[in-house]
Amino acid sequence: MSTPLELRGVRHSYGDVEVLHGVDLVLKPGEVTALLGPSGSGKTTLLAVAGGLLRPTSGHVSVFGEDIAGLRLDRVARRVAFILQAGSLIPYLTVEENLLARRVVAGYKITRADRARAADLLGAVDLAAKSHRHPDELSGGERQRACVAQALYTGAPVLLADEPTASLDRVRGRAVMRLLADHARNTSASVLIATHDERALDLVDRTRSIEDGRLLTP
Amino acid sequence: MWFLAWREIRHGRVRFGLTALLVGLVAFLVFMLTGLAVGLGDAGVSGLRRLPADVVVYAAGSEKTLSRSSLPAADGARIAAVPGVSSVQPIGQTMAQAKGPGASLPVALMGVEPSAPFAAPGLGRGGIVLDRTLEGKARPGDVLTVQPGGVRLTVAGFADLGSLQHTAVAQVPLDEWRRVQPSAVGAYLVTTSGDARGISAAVPGTDAVTKSEAVEAVPGYSAETGTLNLIRGFLLAVTALLTGTVFWIFTMQKEPSLAVLRATGARARLLVGSYLVQVALTTVLGVAVGLAFVAGIGAAMPAGTFSLPGGSAALSAVLLGALALGSSAASLRRLLTVDPLLSLGRNA
């Protein structure tokens, strides 16, 4: 089986400023990897490059052995899903519709089974009662959990999460991390979590640290 | 695309509703001006439009105006001899006042041969047939005194004769018309397979023009419809500017959502399709509002000033729709170039 996500010698610059300096990273199936680092260390840029939102200045990113440089973003998105931050829910859709929108974006029509799966996932993040609310009717923590459910709903084999516990208290944060860990184990998905929250690191399989755009040796 | 488009409209119904109302108000003005252009235009020339002819032959120098034209009777035979001509009918026309027992009626007095195919039913010696819009102001059997000339004529009935220069047409036999306007013939209506210039060239002292040219030459008609159409053109431009600007602002406001959709793999077809569905729905609703307003107000307008046939309304509606879609296309580039990276925050 080919590697779900692999970064080899990835560099990225904003103008003349290089923010990733030759990053090598491999995600394994069923494994949760935490990417630790302070603000400005390059975590989000690394996620953006890994998910095809940014092209590396040099180096290669491959998903299941295929270099994503040659793939359109919609093709990458079928295999790599982002867990976005709380403010990124679409405001005119309800929580349930935010999940269903991922199916619509992927080109599918909504079926009863899709709605049932959305209901299951919203139940798993404790949002079943608020599935028909709009994002502006939710607390920050609820919105963050909805974002997690949204990414899980895609069924993508690679999940990239940018500070998924940032707006959650310790209990909720651990619940989200456990959900991601269970998802990885149950579906063999690979999960990469950029965070500087170290409260739930016992739930991840491995950690990598990044500083000034360089991954530190484990 | 319906999934996203409809839900955004539903959630922003006040915003989209106000936009539709704005489009509706401009559409109402467009429909009103279209109706006025058609109605007033018709009131200016319908009496001529309804006459069956390919070519109208005026006297040279009469500026293609029926009431100023006077031709000798002998020209009829000369015109009939022109190759291609199959029928020649003399007519005469004078603006007159017809005084009756109940009212004094301004009329566009039109003299025609009672045997002409377009002569009103019942037209005969000593009689006058009035356009149907004058029903109620005179009755069959009333004796009207026509000025100038003081000619007394009996109302023989009413028919759909139309109007000229906003004055209802009244048909009289050509011989009676000559008592009002001493002249052999005003002009000739010609059916021909040839062209108008051939008749002018063959019959000296005449100015032959196609019927549509004759209509355009009716005093005041071109200026009147031209002014209204100019205003209508400006309103259509306002529609384009309005929808283009509103949807440009809407697009800018929803850039964060567009970035998320792009980051999650939304293809251009979905984003463009959803956007155009919104523009189309808003425009259709606006046009429907405009039509509803105009149906109510148009019905209350005085007869002969407003007429909005289905074809003209449909053409205006299509123009409004096409302009709305065309102008909103200005936002497409912005829609398609939203950076998906925005979904992760600008400080990525």
Q: In this predicted structure, what is the pLDDT of residue B81?
A: 93
Q: Which of A53, A89, A90 is nearest residue B340 as measured by Cβ atoms?
A: A53
Distance CA B58, CA A81 (A): 81
Give the tens place of pLDDT for each residue, A141-150. 899 899 999 9
Say if residue A195's pLDDT is above 90: no
Strand ordering across the sheet containing A5-14? A17-27, A5-14, A58-63, A66-67
Give the tens place of pLDDT for each residue, A88-139. 899 999 999 999 999 999 989 999 999 999 999 999 899 999 999 999 999 9
Q: In this predicted structure, what is the pLDDT of residue A186?
A: 93
Say if residue A56's pLDDT is above 70: yes
Q: Is A76 on the interface with B (CB under 8 A)?
A: yes
Sequence letter at residue B333: R
Inter-chain CB proximity B264 and A81 less than 8 Å: yes
Tell me which chain B residues have a C-beta less than 8 angstroms from the C-beta of A17: none
Predicted confidence band of residue A40 (pLDDT cuts 50, 70, 90): confident
Nearest to B247 by CA among B271, B268, B276: B276
Tell me which chain A residues have a C-beta less than 8 angstroms from the C-beta of B343: 53, 82, 84, 88
Distance set, CA A112 to CA A98, A99, A116 (Å)? 16, 13, 6
Q: In this predicted structure, what is the pLDDT of residue B348?
A: 39
Q: Is B334 on the interface with A (CB under 8 A)?
A: no
> What sign for the dihedral angle of Cα B122, B123, B127, B132?
positive
Q: In this predicted structure, what is the pLDDT of residue A17?
A: 92
Q: Which residue has the tokens 């953006």?
A: A48
Side-chain-side CA neighbours of B257 within 13 Å: the count stands at 20
Sequence letter at residue B219: P
CA of A42 to nearest chain B CA: how many angstroms apart? 7
Per-residue pLDDT of chain B (348 residues; tens, 9 = 90+): 789 999 999 999 999 999 999 999 999 999 999 999 999 988 899 999 999 999 999 999 999 998 899 999 999 999 999 999 999 999 999 999 999 887 899 999 999 999 999 999 999 899 999 999 999 899 999 999 998 889 999 999 999 999 999 999 999 999 999 998 888 899 999 999 989 999 999 999 999 999 999 999 998 898 988 999 999 999 999 999 999 999 999 999 999 999 999 999 999 999 999 999 999 999 999 999 999 999 999 888 887 788 899 999 999 999 999 999 999 988 999 999 999 988 887 543
Say if residue A69's pLDDT is above 70: yes
CA of A36 to nearest chain B CA: how many angstroms apart? 15
- In chain A, where are the structural domains located? 1-73+191-218
Put simply, the chain B residues between 237 and 266 with a CB less than 8 A from any chain A CB are 256-257, 260-266
Distance CA B179, CA B266 (A): 82
Q: In this predicted structure, what is the pLDDT of residue A109?
A: 92
- Peptide bond connecting B148 to the previous residue in cis, omega within 30 degrees of 0: yes
Nearest CA in chain B to A100: B3
Q: In this predicted structure, what is the pLDDT of residue A218?
A: 66
Residue, of B302 and A1, whose pLDDT is higher: B302
Q: Which residue has the tokens 């041969």?
A: B113
Domain A1-73+191-218 has CATH 3.40.50.300: yes
CA of B322 to nearest chain A CA: how many angstroms apart? 27
Overall average pLDDT of the A59-73 stretch: 93
Task: Give me the interface pTM, i.e. the ipTM.
Answer: 0.91
